[in-house]
Amino acid sequence: MRVSTEGYGCLARRVRAFCDWNGTDLAFVLEGGYGLDTLTDSVRTVHEVFDRYEPPTPDDPVQAGAKEAIDRARDQGFELAETPAFGGAASAT
């Protein structure tokens, strides 16, 4: 899976919003094996999201495998994949 630095920011924004909506805490854990420059940039971007930085939404197409996973989640009633308001997630079990 390839994720840009801004992509990590978008993921963090969605996870943060889900936790805010759900009233849960959030923690991140790092594991090794990354280039330090890339890791530094990604960690900085994720941190900035928690300081209310809004990373730009990517405009490139979603990869086929990711689209299939999003569609499966949506089919199960999990609307978080593309719904910022998380309206449908409350009824998901």
Residue 86 has pLDDT above 60, yes or no: no
Give the angle 52-24-78 at the CA atoms, nearest 5°: 90
Condensed to tens digits (0 to 9), the pLDDT of residues 6-33 reads 888 888 888 888 888 888 898 888 776 6
Question: SS3 of 74, please?
Answer: helix
- Return the pLDDT at 21: 81
What DSSP designation does 87 have? Answer: G
* Residues in contact with 85: Cβ distance below 8 Å, sequence separation at least 6, in sequence order: none
- Return the pLDDT at 79: 64
In contact, 43 and 6? CB cutoff 8 Å:
no
Condensed to tens digits (0 to 9), the pLDDT of residues 33-77 reads 678 888 888 888 888 988 888 888 777 777 778 778 878 877 877
Instruction: Return the H-helix or E-strand segment holding 15.
Output: helix 5-22
